[in-house]
Amino acid sequence: MTFSKFRVGLLSAAMVTLAGCASTTPHAQATGPWQSWQVPVSTPSPLLGKIWSYRDNAYISPDGLAKRMAAVDFALLGETHDNADHHRLQGWMVSAIANEGRQPAIIWEMFDTGQSDALASFQAGKPGHADALGSAVQWEKTGWPKWPLYQPIAEAALSSGLAMYAGDPPVKLVRAVGKKDFSVLPAGQSEKLLLNRSLETGLQNALQTQIVKSHCDLIPATATGPMYRGQRLRDASMAMHMVEKGAQDGAILIAGTGHVRQDRAVPWYVRQLRPGKTVSSLMFVGVTDEDTDPMALIPTDPDGKPVADYAWFTPKVIRKDPCIALKKRFAK
């Protein structure tokens, strides 16, 4: 999933009306979630469980990946929201990075700033179990998949003593920006978030094309403005929270794959906000038995360059074609 489908689902209804070292051994000595997949696998892909480094054009081990991600200032872990294995691997990565002596801030796309107080209060209480965090922040009202899928990430953060923070702006603010423009933000906020700077034309066109594709080609490019502005606001907000909360020892972002793209998403803003800091992006990618080429499974930028540094291949969640329901909705 390259676009944050679950969050976009909350916004679309309002907006539619607006017109380590390289190795050929994939598993090395590490143990982890890849040894017991939660998503069913019928006929496995030869890529299943492997980690591809686009920097090295080679497979690397989980331990090698963890060391590399621990060595950068800002690490982004891109998921498919309803894939339980992605969240288990994100949790493993959080623990592995902490085990390398790091204490990064954990920034969540799934928590918006309206939940910040509840999230802080929960962590101040030093809870023994992460299962209570969902109810503490009223997760069931957010529209995200059920909390137990995300619980492994919180468990890893709490057990490692890592602080968690909200990264997303409130839905109402995203909708307001979509309906009008960035001028609805508080004074000075647009400049602080770098939203006064335009993306390069090629990146802007590519994002608008992605929005059209994510809506099954049912909307014209001219109607993508609200979602385009909303996506930029969300990327900028997550980046700002990463650099602010991670000022001391960096940060890890938990987000959908569309937000961890190196070309135009959160990393673009992080690099502008903190020149000279290192940023690495890992995407967890679901595969089926038909998927055999790691180079064909990652999005590319307008120049054809992979937009992630690494891909970790997992079982793919098989779901109904979302275009069927969307076409019915647009036909009404």
pLDDT digits (tens, 9 = 90+) for 183-238: 999 999 999 999 999 999 999 999 999 999 989 989 898 899 999 999 999 999 99
Read off the pLDDT band of 29 (50, 70, 90): low
Scan for tokens 């400049």, then name that residue: 191
Higher-pLDDT residue of 210 and 6 is 210
Q: How many domains does the chain have?
A: 1
Give residue 192's domain range: 5-331
101-112 tens-digit pLDDT: 999 999 999 999
Higher local confidence (pLDDT), 3 or 323: 323
Strand order from edge to edge, sheet including 58-60: 58-60, 51-53, 310-315, 279-287, 74-79, 251-256, 105-112, 164-168
Which CATH number belongs to the domain containing residue 217 in this structure? 3.40.50.11550
Which pLDDT belongs to residue 21?
Answer: 37
Q: Which residues of 255-275 are buried (b: 16+ CB within 10 A; e: fewer)?
A: bbbbbbbbbbbbbbbbbebbe
Confidence class for position 62, pLDDT limits 50, 70, 90: very high
* Residue range 111-162, pLDDT digits in tens: 999 999 999 999 999 777 899 999 999 999 999 999 999 999 999 999 999 9
pLDDT-derived band at 7, boundaries 50, 70, 90: low
